C-alpha cells in the first residue's frame, strides 16, 4: 500500500480545495445575486491620466487677480511727452516678446522641478492630514468626551445644588424702582 489512489479510483479528499468557498470567491462571488460586476463594482476614473485643457489653463480662475500685466499697465507716456512712434512700437514689441519668452524659459527650466517640489509638498501635507491630523483630532474628541462626562458630573454634583440654594435664597428679594420727577 503506497497511500495514493489506485487505478480507476479518485481521491475524494482533493476534489474540492479547502481554500475555495462553496458560495464563491469573496472578490467575485458565484452566486446569482452578486454575479453582476457592473452593479457591484464602481467605475473608478484615474485622475492621473485625465485629459488636460491646453486652451483654458486656469479653469478655476485662481490667477485672475494676480499677473495680468500688459505693456500699457507698466509703461505709459503722458500727453505732451511722446517718444518717436518707431521707438514706442519697438518698446511694445520688445516688452511683449521678452515677457513671453522669459516666462517660457523660466517655466522650462524651473517649472518641472517646482512641480516636483509642490507635488512632494502636497503629498506630505495629504499624508500628514490623513495619517496624523485626523486621527489626533478623533483621539482628542474621544478623550475630551470622557473629560466632559466627569466635568458634567462635577457640575451637577457641586454647582447645581449651590446655585439652586442661592436661587431660593435670593428669590424672595423684590426690587422696586420708582422714577422721581
3-state secondary structure 118-140: HHHHHHHHHHHHHHHHHHHHHHH
pLDDT score for 48 = 66
- Cβ-based neighbours of 83, under 8 Å, separated by 6 or more: 77, 91
Q: Are 32 and 40 in contact (CB under 8 A)?
A: no
Do residues 41 and 66 touch, judged by C-beta distance below 8 A? no
pLDDT of residue 118: 96
Give the Cα separation of 169 and 162 in Å (integer): 11
Using DSSP's 3-state secondary structure scheme, residue 24 falls into strand
Spatial separation of the C-alpha atoms in residues 61 and 5, rounded to whole Å: 75
Q: Note whether 29 and 23 are within 8 A (CB).
A: yes
Question: 70 and 95 in contact (C-beta within 8 Å)?
Answer: no
Q: What pLDDT does 180 receive?
A: 86
pLDDT of res. 155: 93
d(CA 142, CA 133): 14
Report how far residue 60's alpha carbon sits from residue 176's, in angstroms, rounded to the nearest whole number.
Answer: 65
Residue with cell 464563491: 24
- pLDDT beneath 50, residues of the chain: 1, 13, 16-21, 25, 35, 37-41
Predicted confidence at residue 39, as pLDDT, reads: 47
In Å, how far are 76, 77, 83, 133 from 80, measured between CA atoms?
12, 8, 10, 63
Tens digits of residue pLDDT in 35-68:
454 444 455 556 666 777 888 888 888 877 777 7
Tell me how far apart the alpha carbons of residues 166 and 161 are, in angstroms, rounded to a whole number.
9
Amino acid at each position: 500500500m503506497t497511500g495514493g489512489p489506485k487505478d480507476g479510483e479518485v481521491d475524494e479528499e482533493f476534489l474540492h480545495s479547502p481554500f475555495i468557498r462553496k458560495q464563491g470567491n469573496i472578490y467575485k462571488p458565484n452566486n446569482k445575486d452578486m454575479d453582476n460586476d457592473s452593479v457591484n463594482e464602481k467605475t473608478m476614473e484615474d485622475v492621473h491620466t485625465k485629459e488636460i485643457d491646453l486652451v483654458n489653463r486656469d479653469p478655476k480662475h485662481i490667477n485672475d487677480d494676480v499677473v495680468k500685466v500688459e505693456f500699457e499697465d507698466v509703461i505709459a507716456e503722458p500727453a505732451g511727452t511722446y517718444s518717436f512712434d518707431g521707438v514706442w512700437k519697438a518698446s511694445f514689441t520688445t516688452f511683449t516678446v521678452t515677457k513671453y519668452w522669459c516666462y517660457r524659459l523660466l517655466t522650462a527650466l524651473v517649472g518641472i522641478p517646482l512641480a516636483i517640489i509642490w507635488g512632494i509638498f502636497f503629498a506630505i501635507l495629504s499624508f500628514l492630514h490623513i495619517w496624523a491630523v485626523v486621527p489626533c483630532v478623533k483621539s482628542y474628541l474621544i478623550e475630551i468626551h470622557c473629560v466632559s462626562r466627569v466635568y458634567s458630573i462635577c457640575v451637577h454634583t457641586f454647582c447645581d445644588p449651590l446655585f439652586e440654594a442661592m436661587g431660593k435664597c435670593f428669590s424672595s428679594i423684590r426690587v422696586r424702582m420708582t422714577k422721581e420727577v
